[in-house]
Amino acid sequence: MGLVYQKQSGLIRHYPAETIEFTRALIMPGDAKAKITAAEVSSDEVERLILKLDIMALETEHEGVTRLVADCADAVLAMMRWVKHETTFPFMSILGKGGQLDATWAEPKDVGGGILNPAGTPLLGLYGGASGGVFSWLRTFVANTALGIIPSQIMSARAGMLHMGMIDATQVPKVNRIRFTLAGQVGGAQPTKFSIRKGFGIEQMPYVRFARPVMIGPRQTQAIDVMPNISGDSRPELLSILIAEASVLTL
């Protein structure tokens, strides 16, 4: 087993249906104790989730990202229970079909797509592209000119998203601040100090972790803006986990 399972196997147990005050994630700016309606989950479901997170972390081949996923496993579990409350279907991971739940890394095509933008509102794709029509995180930035990574859109009623951090595959990342707007409430800008990472260079993928993971639950509105301090091409990629029905996690 990998680091996620080693560190978070203690989470594996039965959880009853309950309302919880989850303080380990940003759910609503200005609210330190946002409440989540969490479904009952079995120990088998939780183990399937932890094993899936373990695989997702290992496949990145990045020590920092692996630690990040391990540290955020409890937040992913809370989000999964929130989504399950809406769907009533169990978390089945790779075994799932139809309405059963699974977890995956968010991809550029998800921005403006059917999970983040189920209404199909046009021009909500990455960097303002057509809905679901952008397939790369790459963008040419202009110094000190803000840009929306995720334009304001409403999450599906049967899905959730957890933003944990960000990586950038370019040699000189350009983004140095990020801001989350949740349910119309604008949070404060957070630093993304790629440039001060130890071992910075092509051989070590620059990454940052947010001070707390940011949780977008079913039917929740989100928008994410970034500010570059340098002009040029950059590839700020969100380290975000989607929990959704197997039937909508399409190719």
- In this predicted structure, the answer to whether residue 248 has a pLDDT above a threshold of 70 is yes
d(CA 95, CA 29): 36
CB burial class (10 A; 0-12, 13-18, 19+) of residue 120?
A: exposed
Question: Sorting pLDDT into bands at 50, 70 and 90, what band is 1?
Answer: confident
What value does the mean pLDDT of the chain take? 92
Tell me: the pLDDT tens digits for 4-46?
A: 999 999 999 999 999 999 999 999 998 888 899 999 999 999 9
Angle at 51 between CA 47 and CA 55, to 5 degrees: 170
3-state SS track over the chain: CCHHHHHHHHHCCCECCEEEECCCCECECCECCCEEEECCECHHHHHHHHHHHHHHHHHCCCHHHHHHHHHCHHHHHHHHHHHHHHHCCCECHHHCCCCCEEEEECCHHHCCCCCCCCCCCCCCCHHHCCCCCCCCCCEEECCCCCEEEEEEEECCCCEEEEEEEEEECCCCCCEEEEEEEECCEECCCEECCHHHCCCCECCECCEEEEEEEEEECCCCEEEEEEEECCCEEECEEEEEEEEEEHHHCCC
Give yes or no for a contact between 98 and 91, defined as CB atoms under 8 angstroms apart. no
Q: What is the pLDDT, as a whole number, of residue 202?
A: 52
- In this predicted structure, the answer to whether residue 155 has a pLDDT above a threshold of 60 is yes
d(CA 240, CA 236): 12
Question: Sorting pLDDT into bands at 50, 70 and 90, what band is 203?
Answer: low
Give yes or no for a contact between 210 and 163, defined as CB atoms under 8 angstroms apart. yes
CB burial class (10 A; 0-12, 13-18, 19+) of residue 124?
A: buried
Please give the model's pTM, rounded to 2 decimal places.
Answer: 0.95
- Percent of the chain past pLDDT 90, that is, above it, reads 81
d(CA 148, CA 150): 5
Tell me: the pLDDT tens digits for 101-119?
A: 999 999 999 999 999 999 9
Q: What is the pLDDT, as a whole number, of residue 133?
A: 74
* Conformational region of residue 132, where left means phi above 0, alpha means psi within -120 to 50, and beta covers everything else: left
Question: Sorting pLDDT into bands at 50, 70 and 90, what band is 223?
Answer: very high
- In this predicted structure, the answer to whether residue 188 has a pLDDT above a threshold of 70 is yes
- In this predicted structure, the answer to whether residue 179 has a pLDDT above a threshold of 60 is yes
Tell me: the pLDDT tens digits for 69-91?
A: 999 999 999 999 999 999 999 99
Q: What is the pLDDT, as a whole number, of residue 97?
A: 94
- In this predicted structure, the answer to whether residue 216 has a pLDDT above a threshold of 80 is yes
- In this predicted structure, the answer to whether residue 246 has a pLDDT above a threshold of 80 is yes
